[in-house]
Structure 1
Amino acid sequence: MAGKSQELISKLLQAEDEAEKIIKAARDMRSAKMKDVKPAAEEELAPFRMKEEQKFVEDQRAMQGKNNTSAELEKSTAAELATVRSDYETNKKNGIKHILDKVLDIDLSIPANVKQALLMGA
């Protein structure tokens, strides 16, 4: 009986060794296929990559153009703001004087129709 179990254990160990060899061969084949597929995939991907990189560069240039436009817009806005402030400072004194003249220039004379109404009623 002991001989038979040793024989079965021996067969089991041989089967394990054979399974490991099969697994190793499968891994090696997989690795070889991956090495073969990678250059083919890169070759197939190259035109797409170039097209996308070109699109990216064009988008970057467009954004840079927009940034220049926004810089010009900021510059013109600052110039307009300076003009408005200058006009404000120039006209501020005249505006204040005009308002004060209108507020302080009070006509104290009694209108003719009010005088007449007062005379008739009295």
Structure 2
Amino acid sequence: MAAQQSQGIQTLLEAEKEAAKIVQQARQYRVQKLKDARAEASKEIEEYKKSKEQEFKAFEASHAGTTINTQAALDTETEAKLQEIDVVFNQKKDAVVNTLLQRATLVQPELHRNLKKINA
């Protein structure tokens, strides 16, 4: 009977070792699958990033001429407006200076409205 128990214990120990091996293999398999998934995800991310970068470069190239043309048109328009402002300034400069001088030299002394007359 002791031999049978010893043999039963031995069988249980072997089964436990086998189960530990299976668990270890499952862990290794899971770790490997995670590494593979990460590698695949980073590869997909890089491909997506490259495709979006190419799209952006294509968009930028197609609109580069438009930007230059728009900038030239804006520069021309700005110059025209500046010239117009200079013309208006030169036309009205003398009138504005005269108006300012008249207002500055036209002094009419008056008592302040908050000052009360003192009856003496």
Superposition TM-score tier, normalisation by shorter sequence: 0.5 to 0.7
Q: CA deviation at 1:82?
A: 8.3
Which residue number corresponds to residue 54 of structure 2? 36
1: CA distance, partners of 2:101 / 2:31: 95
Question: Which of these residues, 57, 72, 83, is aligned with residue 54 of structure 1?
Answer: 72
Percent pairwise identity: 12
Q: For structure 2, which runs of at least 5 residues remain unmatched after alignment? A: 1-18, 107-120
**Cα 1:6–1:81 shift into 2, 3 Å:** same
Residue 69 of structure 1 aligns to which amino acid in structure 2?
V
**Over 6 Å off, 4+ runs:** 82-85
Q: Using structure 1 for the length normalisation, give the TM-score.
A: 0.56
Q: Using structure 2 for the length normalisation, give the TM-score.
A: 0.56
* The structure with more helix, counted as a fraction of residues: 1
1: CA distance, partners of 2:75 / 2:43: 46
Q: RMSD across aligned C-alpha pairs, in angstroms?
A: 2.8
Q: Is 1:12 matched with 2:30?
A: yes
Structure possessing the higher radius of gyration over alpha carbons: 1
